[in-house]
Each structure stands twice: as C-alpha cells, then as structure tokens.
Amino acid sequence: MTIFPVFPVALRLRNHKLSRPTFKQPADVVRWFGAVQAQDFHGAKWALALRMREASHAIVEEAFNRGEIVRTHILRPTWHFVAPDDIRWLLQLTAPRVNVRCSSAFRKFELDAALFKRSHRVITNALKGGKHRTRSELKDALNRSGIAADDGIRMGHILIRAELDGVVCSGPRSGKQFTYALLEERVPAATESRTRDELLAELTRRYFTSHGPATLSDYVWWSGLTAKDARDGIALVGRDLEKTCINDLVYWSAGLPRAANRSVHEAHLLPFYDEYNVAYKDRRPVIDATSGLTAWDVLGPVVVCNGKLVGLWKGAIDKGSVAIAVSSGRTLDKHERSAVTKAAERYAAFLNLSLELSFVTTPNRPKRSKDDVKQR
C-alpha cells in the first residue's frame, strides 16, 4: 500500500482527463467514465468537451443527435450520458437499485407493474418505426389511452420506468426540445452475454480508473450499488488497482501515483454536476481550505486551480459574447489568474463567442443553497 501525506489532486486530475485531454470524440469520454451525470444538459456537454483535445458546442450536440452518446436514467435516479454499447449492461446491473430508490414515488402515484405494462405498450406504439416524440407528445398519447399523465411528476416517473426497463432512451433534439426513441431501434442489440460478476467487475474497474483516488463509500454513492456489491467489485478487480492510504482512509485508483503532486499551474471552469465533484460522497479532498466553499457550492459551476476548488463562476451570453464572472474567497495569485483566463477563453471558444472576463474576491459572499442546486 502507498501512503500519501496529502491528497494527490494531480492524480485525480489526470484520471479525470482534465490534465492534457486526449479524447477525440464525445463517446470516448463517456465510455472512459462509464456514465457522466447529465441532467444539466448544457453543462454536461461542456464536461465532455473539457476532456477532448478539440471540441465545440456544435460537435457535442451533433454527437448526441446522431445517437453516438445516449442520455437516460441510470446508476442513480438522474440522467446520465452513456455510450450506446454500454447502456444495456449498465441498465442490467444498476436499474434494479434505481427502481428501489424510486419505489416510494411509484406507490405515491399509484404506479404498479400492471400500469407500467400498459404505459410501456402505449409509449412503444407511439415511437415504433423510428419516430421520435417529445415528452408532451407522449403525455398526450398516454392520456388518450386512459393513463393519467397530466401531473408532471407522475409523468416523469412513467418515463423513468420506461428508461430503466430498457423501453426508451433519448432521441435527437427537436429544436430545443428533447425527444424519446425506442431503445431497440436507437441502439444496436448487445452481441455478447456476460455474467453479473463480469458486469460488476467492469463497472468497478471503470470507476476507479477514471475517478480514482476514491474510496469504497465514494463508489457506492456514484454507482448506486449496495456496499456489499461495491466491496465484491473491488475484490474482483483489486489486482488491477493501486491501493493508497491518505489521512487514514483507503483509496483505490489505477496507474502509478508517482509525480502526482507536481505543480501544474492549470485551471478549469467546471459545469454543474461535473464528475470531478459530483462522483464522490466525500468532496472535501479537492476543496481549497481558504475558498469558503460548502458541500453544496461544489455541485455548481466551480473554478479549479491545480486540482483544488477555489471559487465559483457564472457565464452570461449576450449579443455574440459570453461574460464570465469569477468569484473566490481569496485573492488568486498571478499564476492562477493566468490559468483561469485560459480556461475562460477555452469555454468561450467552445461556444464560438467572444469573452468578457471579470474577477472578484468575496470572502463573505452568499453560499449556494441546497435548493439552488436541486432546481438545476
């Protein structure tokens, strides 16, 4: 076991592919992680672009519309981007647990197996033949069939169950609206059958390779698996992972950790729910102690300097430009400001817009609330 006196943030940056990104296609990024949280669609597209050598908003949007990346409920009760060749085995492994977590809502809205059988049939008939329907169009189809779908939350859970049961997944966008497609028509059928242990090993290996160093509890949070399944997964792939001890906690990762604490002088503007933040139960190791950031702050758009979260950022688009305001709990030094400027320029280039950038130090600034994050 390797022992670190401090958390090796550079190693986590490397495994997240934020340092020296090499991927060429959005699907390559999604496949590397296994799944990328994506309920904030624009932010998730930027999260993929951050890990690519060259990427624009249009390139990622086109990949989504062509079905090269798919958006569905998986791992936890929220949307994720997944690669088409991964969606079926990920559903097989994780959908039962998501259904358990949704079960109280299913009961509240009187959604049982018989009703889901009917709703699946209505949705299938509305989509078959390569049709792509919006949520509103599917709601109308369900209402016409006698299944009440006007309540937005009830309707949402009908669609979540259709995703978890492998009936539907994302279709191409219609203007700015999302559509649904039949999974069997949108994604090629699996060519091989694997055991549950093989699937568990695959997910475990992907998580610690792309997200490490991370703990067992981090993996349980991200995957939605039980603690037993997570421990079994580590046991299955332990020989492929590096075990390290940091502040008396055991972390797992792939690759050699040497040179992981070098000074990198790099910065990133992360979007809402970026995997660098959201994929861990304990997010404290990457928060700068002087930043004043809370656990809820770090789920939003944050500024990362040399692997540490040092502040927040906002972007406002108007008339061909994006105005980015960076706020931090301490004054950023010249190296950090230079790196943040480059990161902001990269985001503006992603949008194909000119940039207006401002910095402010606000040690007593208001914190983001839990409700602010939930509204995204």
Q: Where are the domains of the chain?
A: 2-10+195-253, 19-186, 287-374
Give residue-wise pLDDT tens across range 52-107: 999 999 999 999 999 999 999 999 999 999 999 999 999 999 999 999 999 999 99
Strands 133-134 and 168-170: unpaired
* C-alpha to C-alpha distance for 113 and 116, rounded to whole angstroms: 5
The structure tokens listed for 256 are: 């050699």
- Where would I find the beta strands (DSSP E) of 209-266? 242-246, 249-253
What integer is the mean pLDDT of 262-289?
90
Share of the chain above pLDDT 90, in %: 84
- With 90 as the cut, is the pLDDT of residue 1 above it? no
Tokens of 295: 């656990």
Helix, strand, coil percent values for the chain (each to nearest 5): 45, 20, 35
| Confidence band of 194 (pLDDT split at 50, 70, 90) | very high
Per-residue pLDDT band for 368 (boundaries 50, 70, 90) equals: low
Contacts of 78 (CB under 8 A, 6+ apart): 37, 39
Whether the predicted pLDDT of 367 surpasses 90: no
Q: Which of 133-147, 260-274, 277-291 has the lowest mean pLDDT?
A: 260-274
Its CATH class, for the domain covering 19-186, is: mainly alpha
**Is residue 112 within 8 Å of 118, Cβ to Cβ?**
no
Q: Which fold has domain 2-10+195-253?
A: Arc Repressor Mutant, subunit A (1.10.10)
pTM over 0.85: yes
How does pLDDT run across 23-36, given as a tens digit for each residue? 999 999 999 999 99
Copy the structure tokens of residue 25: 């296609």
43, 133, 346, 352 from 319: Cα distances, Å:
20, 32, 18, 12
